Structure 1
Amino acid sequence: MRCLTLAGVLRDRGASVSFICREHDGHLCDRIEEQGFIVHRLRKGADPVFPSPAFDPYHAPWLGVSWEEDSEETRRIISTLDRKPDWLIVDHYALDERWERYLRPYVSRIFVIDDLADRVHDCDLLLDQNLVEGMETRYDEKIPSSCGKMLGPEYALLQPIYSELHDKIPPREGPIRRILIFFGGVDQNNLTGIALSAVMELNHPDIKVDVVISKKSPFYNTIRDQIVGRPGIVVHSNLPSLAPLIAKADLAIGASGTTCWERLCLGLPTIVITTAENQKAIAHGLKEQGLVKWLGNADTVTANMIRESISKLLSRRDIRDWSSQCSQRVDGLGVMRVFTALTISPDTALHVRRAKLSDEKILLSWANDPLNRKNSFTLDEISPDRHHQWFYDKLRDVENVFLYIVESEDKVPIGQVRFERKSEIWEIHYSLATEFRNRGVGRPLLKAGLCAFRKEHEGVIIFGRVKEENTTSCKVFESLNFSAKSDGGGVAYQRLL
Structure 2
Amino acid sequence: MIAIRVDMNNQIATGHLMRCLSIAEALRFHNEEVMFIVADEQPIEFLSQRNFRYIVLNTQWNNMESEVKELTKIIIDKNIDKLLIDSYQVTYKYLNEISNITKTIYIDDLGKFEYPVNTVICYANYWKKLGYDLNNTKTKYFLGTKYVPLRKEFWNIKNKHISDDVENVLIMTGGSDPYNIAGLMLCGIDRSKYKKIDVICGRYNSNYNDLVAGYRNESNVSIHRNVSNMEDYMMNADIAISAGGTTLYELCACGIPTISYTFVDNQIDNAKQFDEDGLIRYAGDVRDGDIVKSINSILNKMKDDYKLRKDMSHRMQLCVDGRGTMRVADIMCEKCI
Task: Give the TM-score, by structure 2 length.
Answer: 0.87
Match of 1:85 among 80, 87, 107: 80
Take 1:160 and 1:30, find their aligned partners in 2: how far apart are those partners?
19
The partner residue of 1:21 within 14, 38, 61 is 38
Distance in 1 separating the partners of 2:301 and 2:39: 44
Instruction: Work out whether 1:35 is the aligned partner of 2:58.
Output: no
Of residues 112, 130, 135, the one that matches 1:118 is: 112
SS at match of 2:294: helix
- The whole-number CA distance in structure 1 between the counterparts of 2:296 and 2:133 is 42
Say yes or no: does 1:180 pair with 2:174: no
1:218 aligns with 2:206: yes
Structure 1 counterpart of 2:272, which letter?
Answer: H
Q: Which residue in the other structure is 1:2 paired with?
A: 19
Give, in whole Å, the separation in 2 of the partners of 1:311 and 1:265: 23
* Bigger Rg over Cα: 1
Matched with 1:334 is 324
Alignment partners' CA distance in 2, 1:227 and 1:116 = 39
Say if 2:208 and 2:225, in contact at 8 Å, map to a contact too: no
How far is the alpha carbon of 1:172 from its aligned partner?
A: 1.7
* CA deviation after TM superposition for structure 1 residue 216, in Å: 4.6
Q: Of 173, 180, 184, which aligns to 1:190?
A: 180
**In the TM superposition, what is the alpha-carbon distance from 1:215 to its structure 2 partner?**
4.8
Q: CA deviation at 1:40?
A: 1.9
Once the two structures are superposed, the pairs formed by residues 447-486 of structure 1 within 5 Å of their partners are none
* 1:262 correspondence with 2:277: no
Question: Which of 269, 288, 293 is matched with 1:281 structurally?
Answer: 269
In 1, the alpha carbon distance for the partners of 2:310 and 2:95 equals 46
Q: Within 1, Cα distance between the matches of 2:73 and 2:323? A: 35
In the alignment, the residues of structure 1 paired with residue 261 and residue 95 of structure 2 have an alpha-carbon distance, to the nearest angstrom, of: 33
Q: 1:75 aligns to what?
A: 72
Structure 1 position 320, deviation (Å): 1.0
What do residues 29-51 of structure 1 show as CA deviations (whole Å, max 9, x unaligned)? 32222211123223354xxxxxx
Give the drift of 1:310: 1.6
CA apart distance, 1:70: 2.4
Query: Match of 2:92?
Result: 97
Secondary structure of 1:15's partner?
coil
In the alignment, the residues of structure 2 paired with residue 186 and residue 77 of structure 1 have an alpha-carbon distance, to the nearest angstrom, of 33
> Is the 2:169–2:197 contact (alpha carbons within 8 Å) kept by the matching residues of 1?
yes
- Equivalent residue number for residue 158 of structure 1: 150
Kindly tell me the number of residue pairs found equivalent between the two proteins.
Answer: 318
- Tell which has more relative contact order, 1 or 2 (C-alpha 8 A, sep 6+): 2
Q: Which amino acid aligns with 1:179?
A: V
Matched residues in 1 for 2:176 and 2:75: separation?
A: 30
Q: Aligned partners of 1:258, 1:330: CA distance in 2, in Å?
A: 11
1:244 to 218, 232, 236: 232
1:145 aligns with 2:137: yes
Change over 3 Å in CA distance of 1:314–1:117 after alignment to 2: same
SS in structure 2 opposite 1:36? coil
Q: Deviations over 1:341-399 (max 9, x none)?
A: 11134xxxxxxxxxxxxxxxxxxxxxxxxxxxxxxxxxxxxxxxxxxxxxxxxxxxxxx
CA shift for structure 1 position 127: 0.7
Question: 2:304 maps to what in 1?
Answer: 315
**Inter-partner Cα distance in structure 2 for 1:322 and 1:330:** 12
- Match of residue 294 from structure 2: 305
Deviation at 1:202, TM superposition (A): 4.4
Q: Shift in Å at residue 294 of structure 1?
A: 0.6
Counterpart Cα distance in 2 of 1:29 and 1:87: 22
Deviation at 1:334, TM superposition (A): 0.4
Contact 1:202–1:311 under 8 Å retained in 2: no
Q: Which runs of 5+ in 1 are unaligned?
A: 46-62, 346-437, 440-497
* Whole-angstrom CA distance in 1 between matches of 2:48 and 2:32: 17
| Structure 1 pair 302–104 and aligned structure 2 pair: CA distance change class (3 A) | closer
Work out whether residues 96 and 122 of structure 1, in 8 Å CA contact, stay in contact via their aligned partners in 2.
no
Q: Is the 8 A contact 1:19 1:40 kept in 2?
A: yes
1:298 partner letter: V
- CA contact 1:194–1:302 (8 Å) conserved in 2: no
Unaligned runs of 5+ in 2: 1-17
Q: Distance in 2 between matches of 1:193 and 1:90?
A: 35
Kindly, what percent of the aligned residue pairs are identical? 25
Question: How far does the alpha carbon of each residue in 1:107-165 deviate from its partner, in whole angstroms, 9 at most, with x for none?
Answer: 2x110000011122111111111111625x72117x94232211111100012221311
